[in-house]
Structure formats: C-alpha cells, structure tokens
Structure 1
Amino acid sequence: MMKNNLKNKTKMRVTKYLLFPTLLVITMLMINSCETDETQTVTTLTNLVMADEFDTEGAPDSSLWTYDIGRGPNGDGWGNQELQFYTDNSENVRIENGFLLITAKEETIDGALYTSARLKTQGIFEQQYGRFEARIRMPYGKGLWPAFWLLGNDCDVNEWPLCGEIDIMEYLGDRPTTIFGSVHGPGYSAGQSEGKPYSLTNGRFDTGFHVFGIEWGPNYINYYVDGDLYNQITPDDVEGEWVFDHPFYIIINMAVGGLLPGSPDEDTEFPQTMVVDYVRVYQ
C-alpha cells in the first residue's frame, strides 16, 4: 500500500506547488455556486511561513511538533469521553515514505481501550490570521474521529471555550463522504458550535487525499476543501463573543470514541491510520 502512496505522492510533488498561485482564480469560480454569505472574502496568501512536508523518516520534527499524552488533564477522555490513550510511540505516530502516520490501535493502557496520537505546535508555532491547510487521507470505521484544528494560545489562562477553537476539519469514520468545519467560543461551543458540513459527490475521504484549509482574517473565517469555498463564519454568525483575534496553534489528532462519534463497533477494524501529506501555513 505504501508503494502506491509513494508513487501518487511523487506525482503530487511536481504539481502541488503549482496549485496555490491559481487559488484565487479557482476560488472565484467556486464562489458563484457556493451557498455562502455574499460578504465572502477571497484573498491571495502567498507568503509561506510554516510548512512540514514530512520528508524525514522517523519521529515528527521536534522543532515544530510536540505531543499531548494520556487521557486528558482530568483523565476524562479530553472532556469528550474519548476512549484512547494518546502516546508518542512510533506505533502510533511516525513519518514513513514522506507521510505523517497517526495510527489508532486496539490495546489497553492505563484503563483506556485504545491508543492513538495527538500532535500540536503549542509554544512552538502560533499565528494570528492567515491560511492554514493540510492534505490528508482519512481512516474508516465507526468510532474514529480524526481532526485538523486550531486552539487559542491563551488556553492555559482562558479555559475552553473562552480561548476559542477553529475546527478546520473533523471527520467521523462511518461517514466517509462528509467532513465538517466549525468554531467554538463562549456561548457557541460543543453541540451549539457554529459550522457547516461538506460532502463529496464523487469519491470518499478514506480512499484519496484531500486538501482541507481555512483563510482567517479580521472578522471572517473561510472554509475550503480542495479549493472549494464552502462556508464563511463571521461575528454576525455566532451567538456570543468573537474570540478569534489572537494567535492560535495547530493540533492534528485521531480520537477513538467519545460523545460525537460513539464507540467503535464490531465492524471497526484496527489498526486504522490517518495519513497526512503536508501541513502549510501562509500569511
């Protein structure tokens, strides 16, 4: 399987750097058919300020990434009743053949029934505004909950949701054609978050790579899949204070179980892997 992935990636290496300069043209075409607010903002952000292409074998680059370890600060499954124990073990997180692999395994550690990994740039790379994107292939199976998201860098002082959360992409493993993007803040968090799903009309998110991104500026966050602008969130859309005006850091993780996806069932096979081709941030 990895040989095929590597072959596909080699082709992408030639072309993917050519996609971004044409983003403005593509996005303007998409806006005409996008069911979003007419105040849509389209920008061209070409200043690459952070990128990880995952081209070095082994552990993720420690100058960019660190880890959350365990079952959450309160041992409660990170506030979501998740079932995994996050580790920094190579079986759960490693770089191989130019991809970051985050793997969920069925094994018991410290009372948890599964292991997985959660990477973050907290204290290393944090940015206010810009374009954040990643190219990812999803796993498949009920109870799997991969995500690519941002958390306010003041979360140690202003507890969630006061610090703000920007979910660039969340995915439920038994719904392979749909992802969703949302924001959480004071007055609009958890089940009351503001967001929107995006569904593929052809294909599935677990059978191919797709680019998930946002463009974030003062008073707006635009959501994209493969250059398709599918939602915009502004202060007028939320039922509370807009808290997206300070630096945020990046998190990439795969949870197992929890309030949103429910538990794995007898048809969920393990191990399951979230495959990340790259992460890039522009200003």
Structure 2
Amino acid sequence: MRRLTRGVLAGVIAAAAAASLAVTATASAESPSEDREPKLAWSDEFEGAAGTAPDASKWTHEVNGDGGGNGELQYYTDSTDNAALDGEGNLVITARKENPADYQCHYGRCEYTSARLNTAKTFTQKYGHFEARIKVPRGTGMWPAFWMLGSNFGSTPWPDCGEIDILENIGSEPSTVHGSLHGPGYSGGNPITGSFSLPDGQAFADDFHTFAVDWTPEYIAWSVDGKEYQRKTPADAGGNAWPFDQPFFLILNVAVGGAWPGPPGDDTQFPQSMVVDYVRVEA
C-alpha cells in the first residue's frame, strides 16, 4: 500500500499546538485493565437540530486547501454544507463537487469541498478505548478517516509526534478498511498497518460499522464491530521510537483524491457523505 502523510494539519491547529494547546479537557488512563469497568471520558452523540454545526466546544474546523500533504483535491471549509448534524443523532461530513472562486487549493482553484474536524484544543487522552460508529462514503477517490495525532504536534513534527489511524477506507476498496501507526521510521507509504475485509463482497458504505482501538502501554489493538483484527506492540517498530505514550487528539475527515486513493472516477457520484452516529472515548 502506497500513501503519503496524513499528518500535516492546518495552520490554525499547528499554531494552537505550538502554544501548548490550552486543552480544556484532558484525560489519562495510565494502564487500562481488561477486568475493570471502563469509564466514559468523552463523547459526542451528535444530538441537535438538523442543519446545525458540530459542537464548537468539542470540535475545531480546519479550513485550508493544502491537500493534507497527500495531494488531496478538496478544500476543507467550516460551512454546514460540509459538516452538520442531521437531526437524527448523526454528524454528516459531506464532500461536494464544486469550485467557488474563493476556495484556492494547492493545485489551483478547488474542484471539491469537504470538512475536517479535530479535538486538538478541546480534548486529548493517553490510553483507553476510542470508538466511533460510522457509515463511510462510496466511490473511487473517496478517503474517509477517523484517526488521532500526538498532542505535541506543534513542537514535534509529523511523524515523530505519532499518528494512530483507527479507520481509513479508500473507495476503490469498498470491502476493506485499514488501521495503521505512523512514527519515526515507519510512516507515509511504509506504516505499521493491517486491514479488515467484510465477507461476500459486502461494502462498508452499505451500513454503519463500529471502528475502535484499545490503546495501552503494552499494545494498540484494532477492531471492527467488536472483532479484533490486529494488535501491535513497541516491538513492531523494529527498534524505532514508539511515540504512543502521550496524549493524542481525535480527527474526523473526508478527503477527496490524493496519492493513495487516486482521483474520483466517472462512477463516483457527488455529494458523498460520511455519517457518524457517535464518537466515544473510555478511560
């Protein structure tokens, strides 16, 4: 699998991180135990009226057209046209094919808009259970993701800050999702990674699925619908640094195009949406 960095954040987040991120809610589960009762540390159930923006006390919009460091084709906006509640308990992140004159991308006038939200200024946590119930978009060139970056991103550039990809899907692989780690010596097109595929040609865009990681000092384990499909330990870093011993923040986004998924195909219909039922973090 070939891909470039997902970890290049917009200037607003880099500036916040560089200023040590005045985080208003930080939790730490130093060593989660499988035999103790988990404790909900943070969540968003996305309750609210249809058409309203995501809760600004929990999520920050990234606004830019820099391509995420991957040659992506979208401009990330803070418009409710691209990220809004649906009134039924879901967040909907929508990628649209449009090219307004004031949306300039790294390659020129943008052809697509979408949204990317993060909790860098509002919530970080070290260790625990991180879970979201999501229905992904459909079509070649679509690249939805639920992931995390180290909260020291501003002072420690990617990939040394660490990246945990809980869910990535590319539209040309409708039955498969990927979970990965990026760090020093294993990043971009060479992450520590694994994948999970649905049986019988089912597509992840057909229904909601639950994507999670369980993160402890000893390992990080990925699951889909409660079924663990890979577990990685510091030994998997092959002697390289393991930056997964600090707080991380959450990110939700839908990218369009880029080096890994390639551009949208003629079969890709717009708009395309990622629907998020909830995001929950346990300590």
Instruction: Look up the match of 2:231.
Output: 232
**3-state DSSP of counterpart to 2:68:** helix
Corresponding residue to 1:193 among 184, 188, 191 = 191
Contact kept, 8 Å, 1:45 with 1:282, in 2: the verdict is no
Of 192-201 and 44-53, more deviation after overlay is shown by 44-53
Alpha-carbon deviation of 1:44? 5.2
Shift of 1:152: 0.4
Aligned counterparts of 1:263 and 1:176: Cα–Cα separation in 2 = 15
Shift of 1:42: 5.0
Q: Which residue of 2 aligns with 1:246?
A: 246
The amino acid that maps onto 1:59 is A
- State the SS of the aligned residue for 1:105: strand
Q: Percent same amino acid among aligned pairs?
A: 49
Structure 1: 4+ residue segments shifted above 2 A: 41-45
Take 2:61 and 2:276, find their aligned partners in 1: how far apart are those partners? 16
Output the CA distance in 2 between the equivalents of 1:45 and 1:164. 28
For residues 212 and 137 of structure 2, what CA distance do their matches in structure 1 show?
Answer: 19
| In structure 2, C-alpha distance between the alignment counterparts of 1:45 and 1:235, rounded to whole Å | 26
**Residue 97 of structure 2, aligned match among 101, 106, 110:** 106
User: Which residue in 2 is equivalent to 1:53?
Assistant: 45
- Counterpart mapping for 1:155-166 below 5 A: 155-166=153-164
In structure 2, relative to structure 1, the CA distance for the partners of 1:179 and 1:119 (3 Å cut) is: same
Contact 1:213 1:224 in 2 (8 A): yes
Of residues 151, 154, 161, the one that matches 1:153 is 151
Does the CA-based 8 Å contact 2:60-2:121 persist in structure 1? no
Q: How far 1:49 sits from its partner (Å)? A: 0.7
Please give the alpha-carbon distance, in whole angstroms, between the structure 2 residues aligned to 1:212 and 1:52: 15
Supply the distance in 1 between the matched residues of 2:270 and 2:193 (Cα, whole angstroms).
30
Q: Which is worse superposed, 45-54 or 243-252?
A: 45-54
**What is aligned with 1:30?**
none
Q: Assess if the C-alpha contact under 8 Å between 1:137 and 1:205 holds in 2.
A: yes
Whether 2:76 is the aligned partner of 1:69: answer no
Secondary structure of 1:78's aligned partner: helix
CA distance in 1, matches of 2:131, 2:166: 8
- Secondary structure in structure 2 of the residue aligned to 1:206: helix
When residues 270 and 45 of structure 1 are mapped into structure 2, their CA distance, relative to the original with a 3 A threshold, is farther
Query: 1:81 is matched with which residue: 68, 71, 75?
Result: 71
Counterpart of 1:48, as a letter, is L
Which of the pair is proportionally richer in helix? 1
Equivalence for 2:269:
269
Shift of 1:175: 1.4
Kindly tell me the number of residue pairs found equivalent between the two proteins.
239
8 A contact 2:159–2:183 mirrored in 1: yes
Task: Give TM-score scaled by structure 1 length.
Answer: 0.82
Question: C-alpha deviations, 1:23-62, integer Å up to 9, x for none?
Answer: xxxxxxxxxxxxxxxxxx9565520010111111211111
Contact 2:116–2:252 (CA under 8 A) maintained in structure 1: yes
Kindly provide the CA deviation profile for residues 140-187 of structure 1, in whole angstroms up to 9, marking residues without a partner as x.
100000000000000000000010000000001121110010000000
Distance in 1 of aligned mates of 2:90 and 2:234: 36
Distance 1:226 1:44 in 2: 21
**Where does the alignment leave 5 or more consecutive residues of structure 1 unmatched?**
1-40
**Do the aligned partners of 1:170 and 1:179 also contact (CA within 8 Å) in 2?**
yes
Q: 1:229-282 deviations in whole A, cap 9, x for unaligned?
A: 110011111131100000000000000000110000111110000000000000
TM-score of the superposition, structure 2-length normalised? 0.82
Report if aligned partners of 1:45, 1:130 keep a CA contact under 8 Å in 2.
no
Q: Which residue of 1 is the match for residue 256 of structure 2? A: 256
On the 8 A contact 2:166/2:211 being kept in 1, the answer is yes
Query: CA RMSD of the aligned region, Å?
Result: 1.2
